[in-house]
Amino acid sequence: MRIKTSLLALAGLGVASAANAEGPDFEKEIWPFVKNSCVECHTPEHKDERGRTRRPKGDLVITNKEAFMKGGEGGAVIVPGKPEDSPFLSRTKLPLDHDDHMPPEGKADQWTDAQKALFEAWVKAGANFGAWTSDPSVDKK
């Protein structure tokens, strides 16, 4: 009986591993904190409430998959499978007082260590966006 229970437990782990093979769910687990801390500065060019033209910081738009994967003025910000080569993640790990730290201190909520680890796991697993292509509530293109 004990062996049968152990085999069932191992089989369950295999199912869980297979389900997570694509990494965290972007829309449900990643996008909420990215949206909360990064969208204010990284939306497509638009007119603000006073009619001023607002451009995305660093020419980086993250409100839709295509633009997010294109990157900004420095090139790609996410390299699927390579979190260490993904500036979008590495900038969150810089000291708060570093000029390149994102999000800037005092401008938005900082990512927690758990959020950084989740984003890293998502990139490492291939940066799969699943069915998410954009967030119409913030994608002003």
pLDDT in tens, 33-87: 999 999 999 999 999 999 999 999 999 999 999 999 999 999 999 999 999 999 9
DSSP state of 110: P
CA 65 to chain centre: 10
Q: Helix, strand, coil proportions of the chain in percent (round to 5)?
A: 45, 5, 50
Is residue 33 assigned to a domain? yes
pTM confidence score: 0.82
Is residue 3 assigned to a domain? no
On the question of a cis peptide bond just before residue 104, with omega within 30 degrees of 0, the verdict is no
Is residue 54 assigned to a domain? yes
Domains in the chain, number = 1
Is residue 5 assigned to a domain? no
Q: Which residue has the higher pLDDT, 136 or 18?
A: 136
Q: Which domain holds residue 98?
A: 23-124
What number of residues does the chain have? 141
Q: Which residue has the higher pLDDT, 11 or 93?
A: 93
Question: What's the average model confidence in pLDDT over 22-31?
Answer: 95
Task: Please answer whether residues 34 and 132 qualify as being in contact, where contact means their C-beta atoms are separated by less than 8 angstroms.
Answer: no
Alpha helices in the chain (DSSP H): 2-19, 31-38, 65-70, 87-90, 113-124
Question: What's the average model confidence in pLDDT over 86-92?
Answer: 98
Is residue 79 assigned to a domain? yes
| Cβ count near 120 (within 10 Å) | 19
Question: What's the average model confidence in pLDDT over 18-42?
Answer: 87
Diameter of the chain by CA atoms?
72
DSSP state of 54: E
Is residue 95 assigned to a domain? yes
Whether 93 shows a pLDDT value over 90: the answer reads: yes
DSSP state of 130: T
Whether 18 shows a pLDDT value over 80: the answer reads: no
Is residue 9 assigned to a domain? no
Is residue 17 assigned to a domain? no
